[in-house]
Chain A
């Protein structure tokens, strides 16, 4: 049984309310940080903890914080990214819905470290009811002296506001989020300048994911060094994984990054295996934009090692034979699923969510969707597969923000690993409308090169 730091108390009855949360030891980290640590010392603890951003990119949080510009007389802002929209990801929702005070607590500590007196939570518009939950939690915290002026008599002022978006995946990109928070279209900004220098309303800003900020609570309570002892290598602490697709027990799991992918899928503690006696065909381990892997490459790396649920192991082999931890959206596909159709829905998603600002993404995402629809519906040509490859290649890396990459990678990985399934659709257009390609050889053991 792995360690739980964030969800340990998630099942305590009424943990959503302030009184229960406080009785269970809540807000201790605020007392500790504000009374015994300086803001820089808090940042130091975060650096020691090795915490990496939980939103998807996995950038070291302590380093991100140390980039924050601190000019005299200019306000600084902490903005929490709760615009959880990556298909397959629903971990932040779980955290905010059931233990909202954990986020508020982490925000107060982080705001103190960063010197932010007004911090914002930008939450996706569809999570309307969670907005109310958070606002109530903030109100409770304020009434109990954790927010407002002169918190705990330390002279530190802090307020937290919740802002709802209105339906735009792109607002999960930090500069698009800031634009949206300013009441504008969610067009990502051209960088530099980075938010750490010019962010919200032109002021230095740190944007962090919900889970990242919540992790501040155990880091301060237990100390950065203790936190860093959990996990393997550079994958420290615990990670929330939202598992979905064809598994017996979809849901949000906290793992301490010491378990294997196989254990995560098949153990009863986590996903509980594949339903209806079906077999594992493929999996997207970190949210829809990271590369899809066939069963054989998912469970073992190309070197024949057991693949673990860590940042490094999931990325082992690069994009050629590996994937990414991403946002922790774990999508499992069984042998009855069609990779082409699934890739098509993702391409449609990215076309729908492109902001339209830069040409490769605006034009390329729609083009890929149309070609994939042709292949899926039996109107594809063999040359279309190469064309798709070329289009994704010309989008990747050439756009303003990572949405271009996010749209290109799933298509690239699907062709890389499932090319024969695409070709089967082209050569058997009628049959492909009747049945799916099935498991084929995607779970067969791979020959491991002898070193």
Chain B
């Protein structure tokens, strides 16, 4: 066994959906597929390449192995989790070309959505939610589930992170973050079966300088940033890459701005939605950078974040954007279209400094604000 480890990792050839790629031995099917990219890559809800031990649980990345290897070309009888199965030389994998896989994946997506509250309209994760993407690609409209959805009691886990257990898909990523990035895990998965839940058991504040990374790894809206709560839809914000000299972390972040306001700070993500690596190390960020540096002047701005053009977030992203040709003024003989009403006359939405609010933006703040302004006019 020791001899095997000493051997330099040889390159092996694997064919995924009729595309052959050469990868180092020991690579998983999922990571080999990511090297090919595009539609061939299975979706992954629980696997996270930067978190040791993650993966294998959600079953969305199941693929069919049509031939185990060149040496033993027998097919594998069951579908396998591509995130936890390593490739063999000459392996043939079917993902989107397999009806079995598509059928099983549709089943998994149905299971994941079975008890999900589908509260996207009030969920801060909407627009960057992996479950939304998954449902859009593999889900069916409507549900065959005719029972009450499972709910959990609300638990306050501290001033910066909001836990919505009802939305959780139990990917376990956040527990790996707590184990691998912080020195004292205080939350975990309690109970079992369909009542298993993320909890601290004692409503304890999760208090650690790297705990905020749990938000970045959460694939759904189960863990969200309390300082960004209800302040804006993510697709109305403008992401820019920025950095600062931070004594605790890499200091490389994405600022989610509206105008000059910094509404939210996150780590930078790669095309798979994972935190980017720098010099081979994952670019996790500390809570100081994430929750306390909310002024543009705290940061050196590098430029717009590159966002996949298919993402709804790219709506607020202006790089190389081509505006469709406007013809309406021509049609109207040079007249500008008259708006039914100007939103700014009836809403205080843009008059609040959202980034300066200590907590969630609620109707309360707007009321106070408008009362103050009306007082002023009197």
Residues of A at under 8 Å CB distance from B?
69, 71, 168, 185, 190, 351-360, 362-367, 370, 387, 393-395, 397-400
Contacts and interface: CB of A to CB of B under 8 A. Distances in A.
A178 to B, nearest CB: 15
A354 B57 CA distance: 13
B195 interface: yes
Given A363-B114, A387-B144, A398 B170 contact: no
A30 to B, nearest CB: 31
21 contacts: A71-B2, A190-B56, A352-B193, A354-B192, A355-B192, A356-B196, A357-B57, A357-B170, A359-B58, A359-B112, A359-B170, A362-B111, A362-B194, A363-B111, A364-B111, A366-B194, A393-B107, A394-B108, A397-B79, A398-B78, A400-B81
B96 interface: no
A360 B193 contact: no
Contacts of A366: 193-194
B112 A71 contact: no
Contacts of A399: 59
Interface in B105-139: 107-108, 110-112, 114-115
Nearest to B145: A367
B110 A362 contact: no
Contacts of B196: 355-357, 362
Contacts of B115: 363
Given A360-B59, A363-B114, 17 more contacts: A71-B1, A190-B81, A354-B192, A356-B189, A356-B191, A358-B57, A359-B58, A359-B108, A359-B169, A359-B170, A362-B170, A363-B111, A394-B104, A394-B107, A394-B110, A400-B57, A400-B59
A362 B112 CA distance: 9
Nearest to B110: A394
B289 interface: no
A356 B112 contact: no
Main secondary structure of the interface of B (DSSP, over half): loop
Contacts of B107: 360, 393-395, 398
Contacts of A355: 192-193, 196
B104 A398 contact: yes
Contacts of B57: 190, 357-359, 400
B58 A398 contact: no
Contacts of A397: 78-79
Nearest to A364: B111
Interface residues of B, number: 34
B111 A394 contact: yes
Contact of B108 (A357, A367, A398): A398
A358 B169 CA distance: 9
A400 B108 contact: no
B84 A190 contact: yes
A399 B81 CA distance: 9
Interface string B55-85: 1111110100000000000000011010010
Nearest to A186: B192
A41 B14 CA distance: 41
A185 B194 contact: no
B278 interface: no
Contacts of B79: 397-398
B178 to A, nearest CB: 15
Interface in B149-202: 169-170, 189, 191-196
Given A397-B79, A398-B62, A185 B193 contact: no
Given A185-B192, A362-B194, A363-B115, A356 B56 contact: no
B194 to A, nearest CB: 4
B28 to A, nearest CB: 11
B147 A370 contact: yes
Given A354-B194, A398-B108, A367 B114 contact: yes
Contact of B170 (A71, A185, A356, A364): A356
B59 A358 contact: yes
Nearest to B196: A356
A351 B62 CA distance: 23
A71 B5 CA distance: 13
Contacts of B191: 356
Contacts of A359: 57-60, 108, 111-112, 169-170
Nearest to B191: A356
Nearest to B112: A359
A168 B103 CA distance: 31
Contacts of B78: 397-398
Contacts of B1: 69, 71
